[in-house]
């Protein structure tokens, strides 16, 4: 199984108030994609969470407390040579809960929608 940390690279993150825009490239040569699935590689859904964990840690010093909702809309093929774009919007809800709504796109085509609750990194 390939190393998750070398399966992607966050190439840029822009922050504007409560919004983040992250560009991510996949390393199509990583063994992770060979096993998911042989001769027909697609990005494992959990890799979205790994990517978001890294963005939240590096930019906000936060970690994922729970995943409230995740909806996979289209498979991501790692060799399509297009960057993944993650749009994150952070909001404070009742009881001081911090919620992050995420939309993942490739060339404006939505492949995933996620809602997370985050907390300070411990």
Q: Check residue 63 and give its pLDDT.
A: 97
Among residues of the chain, what percentage have pLDDT more than 90?
78
Segment 31-47, tens digit of pLDDT:
888 888 888 899 999 99
Segment 4-27, tens digit of pLDDT:
778 999 999 999 999 999 999 999
pLDDT at 1 over 60: no
pLDDT at 30 over 90: no
Distances (CA, A) of 105 to 62, 65, 108: 23, 24, 5
Tokens describing residue 50: 């790994």
Distances (CA, A) of 120 to 66, 73, 81, 89: 13, 29, 34, 16
Nearest to 104 by CA among 81, 80, 76, 78: 76
What is the distance between the alpha carbons of residues 120 and 122, in angstroms, rounded to a whole number? 6
Q: Does domain 4-120 have CATH number 3.40.50.11810?
A: no
pLDDT at 2 over 70: no
């Amino acid at each position: 199984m390939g190393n998750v940390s070398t399966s992607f690279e966050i190439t840029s993150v822009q922050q504007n108030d409560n919004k983040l825009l992250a560009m991510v490239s996949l390393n199509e040569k990583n063994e992770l994609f060979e096993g998911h699935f042989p001769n027909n590689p697609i990005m494992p859904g959990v890799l979205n969470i790994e990517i978001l964990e890294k963005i939240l840690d590096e930019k906000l010093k936060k970690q994922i407390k729970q995943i409230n909702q995740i909806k996979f809309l289209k498979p991501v093929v790692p060799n399509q040579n297009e960057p993944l774009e993650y749009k994150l919007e952070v909001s404070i809800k009742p009881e001081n809960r911090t919620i992050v709504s995420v939309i993942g796109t490739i060339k404006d085509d939505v492949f995933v929608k996620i809602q997370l609750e985050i907390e300070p990194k411990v």
